[in-house]
């Protein structure tokens, strides 16, 4: 079998890249390890930057997000019972869009299917060969049969645990990592959101986030210990803890219900450099991870897709390699800025187990500065709505 671009991983990065390239007549094959139901069952991101919505429109999958996505003009930050608002639209001219990653993925699956695109689920033992030559290829096992796919380029969109990054020899890459000493316990419930905008809560008991998917679907998170397990947290223990971490009026008006999903995510900052090795390009979580505070993971995956799509388009349409040659440099310049923002916002909002009294006082001073200083709010808002591509 042959294609122009072999895409490993059928998460949002791989699907969006495939659909965008299809729009330019560039052929792709997407190889995904999991079933479609598994990919759609992973509850993850909920906040989209304008850049991602624009890419979805360009890919021909923008109708539903524009119709059903909820524009948010700002967000609330709280400390104890004190709350203040950061007005994204007033400060930057742009809102963000609340629309679940599951829905982005669902829209992309539908579009790929309608276009007759090749997307294989349940592929095992994927290996990349000859990425540092002009004739790369990918082999994989499907239904017990070993298969071989020749291609011009390989896009490694297979997430943090994928094989693409590890295909680059250790001597040719560098990794930068910070692991945080806590996780996020997330709950999805069919209840109305506690507030019309998201609430990022710093409390003496640790961080909490009140988010949503729609008028009757709420997403809440609380900072938890790394050794906690979701089954250790009953629904009522979760709701009690959430109430203790958010301002009193919200705690009192919170409507609770049975959780329909409960999971724990560890927090990590990670970047691998470079994001290209020969004809292999890393894209999204395969190349970098941010802690979720600030909602940057999916959005940063989208900015990689933007640079890679435009580089490949330039190559196929104009015979110009400049875009693919500069892919790693351009993508990393933006990646490091979102790494910085996610690290800063995580540091500002969480209780660290080894935090000294001094560090705690500095954290409170910084929250007060953000509350009262328009320049600080503008910098926060610019990062939150998304830095330009």
Does position 51 bind ligand DHB by CB under 6 A? no
Contacts of 189 (CB under 8 A, 6+ apart): 217, 218, 220, 256, 257, 258, 259, 260
Q: Least Å distance between CB 217 and ligand DHB?
A: 10
162/155 Cα distance (integer angstroms): 12
Q: Least Å distance between CB 44 and ligand DHB?
A: 7
Does position 294 bind ligand DHB by CB under 6 A? yes
Region near ligand DHB per CB under 6 A, out of 56-64, 164-172, 293-301, 352-360:
293-301
Which 192-211 positions form the footprint of ligand DHB (CB under 6 A)? 198, 209, 211
Does position 69 bind ligand DHB by CB under 6 A? no
State yes or no: is 384 an active-site residue. yes
69/73 Cα distance (integer angstroms): 13
Through-space distance between the first and last CA atoms of the chain, rounded to whole angstroms = 35
And the tokens for 370? 């953000």
Does position 224 bind ligand DHB by CB under 6 A? no
Region near ligand DHB per CB under 6 A, out of 28-36, 58-66, 243-251, 290-298:
290-298
Residue appearing with tokens 């003496």: 204
Q: Which residues bind ligand FAD (CB under 6 A)?
A: 8-14, 31-34, 39, 44-47, 101, 123, 126, 157-159, 161-163, 186, 265, 284-285, 292, 295-299, 301
Q: Given the complex with ligand FAD, which of 162 and 323 has the nearer CB atom?
A: 162
Answer whether the bond into residue 117 is a cis peptide, omega within 30°. Answer: no
Phi and psi at residue 2, to the nearest 5°: -135, 145
State yes or no: is 296 an active-site residue. yes
Does position 183 bind ligand DHB by CB under 6 A? no
136/324 Cα distance (integer angstroms): 16
Marked catalytic residue, from 22, 79, 195, 296: 296
Q: Given the complex with ligand DHB, which of 191 and 293 has the nearer CB atom?
A: 293
Marked catalytic residue, from 22, 72, 195, 288: 72
Q: E strands of the chain, at which residues?
A: 5-8, 28-32, 47-48, 70-72, 74-79, 82-87, 96-98, 118-121, 124-129, 137-142, 145-150, 153-156, 174-189, 199-202, 208-214, 217-224, 259-273, 276-277, 280-282, 288-289
Marked catalytic residue, from 200, 221, 307, 309: 200
Q: What number of other Cβ atoms are within 10 A of residue 244's Cβ? A: 14
Q: Given the complex with ligand FAD, which of 343 and 355 has the nearer CB atom?
A: 343
85/93 Cα distance (integer angstroms): 16
Q: Given the complex with ligand DHB, which of 149 and 212 has the nearer CB atom?
A: 212
State yes or no: is 309 an active-site residue. no
State yes or no: is 200 an active-site residue. yes
- For the annotated catalytic residues, the residue numbers are 72, 200, 292, 296, 384
Residue numbers of the site for ligand DHB (CB under 6 A)? 45-47, 198, 209, 211, 219, 292-295
């Amino acid at each position: 079998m042959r294609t122009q671009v072999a895409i490993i991983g059928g998460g949002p990065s791989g699907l969006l890249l495939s659909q965008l390239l299809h729009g330019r007549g560039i052929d792709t094959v997407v190889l995904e390890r999991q079933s479609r139901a598994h990919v759609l069952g992973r509850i993850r991101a909920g906040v989209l930057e304008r850049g991602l919505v624009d890419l979805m429109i360009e890919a021909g999958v923008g109708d539903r997000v524009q119709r059903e996505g909820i524009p948010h003009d700002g967000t609330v930050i709280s400390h104890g019972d004190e709350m203040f608002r950061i007005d994204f639209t007033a400060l930057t001219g742009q809102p963000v869009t609340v629309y679940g990653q599951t829905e982005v993925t669902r829209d992309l699956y539908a579009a790929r299917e309608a276009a007759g695109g090749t997307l294989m689920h349940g592929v095992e033992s994927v290996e990349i060969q000859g990425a540092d030559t002009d004739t790369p290829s990918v082999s994989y096992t499907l239904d017990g049969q070993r298969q071989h796919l020749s291609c011009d380029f390989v896009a490694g969109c297979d997430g943090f645990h994928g094989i693409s990054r590890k295909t680059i020899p250790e001597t040719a890459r560098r990794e930068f990592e910070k692991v945080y000493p806590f996780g996020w316990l997330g709950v999805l419930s069919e209840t109305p959101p506690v507030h019309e905008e998201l609430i990022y809560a710093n409390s003496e008991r640790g961080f909490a986030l009140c988010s949503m998917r729609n008028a009757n679907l709420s997403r809440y998170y609380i900072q938890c210990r790394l050794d906690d397990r979701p089954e250790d947290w009953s629904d009522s223990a979760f709701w009690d803890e959430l109430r203790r971490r958010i301002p009193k009026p919200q705690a009192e008006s919170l409507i609770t219900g049975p959780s329909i999903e409960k999971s724990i995510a560890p927090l990590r900052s990670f970047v691998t450099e470079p994001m290209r090795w020969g004809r292999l390009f890393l894209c999204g979580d395969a190349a970098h991870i941010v802690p979720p505070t600030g909602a940057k993971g999916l959005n940063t995956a989208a900015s990689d897709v933007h640079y890679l799509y435009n580089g490949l388009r330039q190559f196929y349409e104009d015979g110009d390699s400049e875009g693919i040659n500069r892919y790693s440099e351009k993508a990393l310049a933006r990646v490091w800025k979102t790494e910085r923002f996610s690290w800063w916002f995580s540091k500002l909002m969480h209780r660290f187990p080894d935090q000294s009294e001094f560090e705690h006082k500095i954290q409170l001073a910084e929250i007060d500065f953000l509350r009262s200083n328009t320049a600080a709010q503008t910098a926060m808002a610019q990062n939150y709505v998304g830095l330009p591509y």
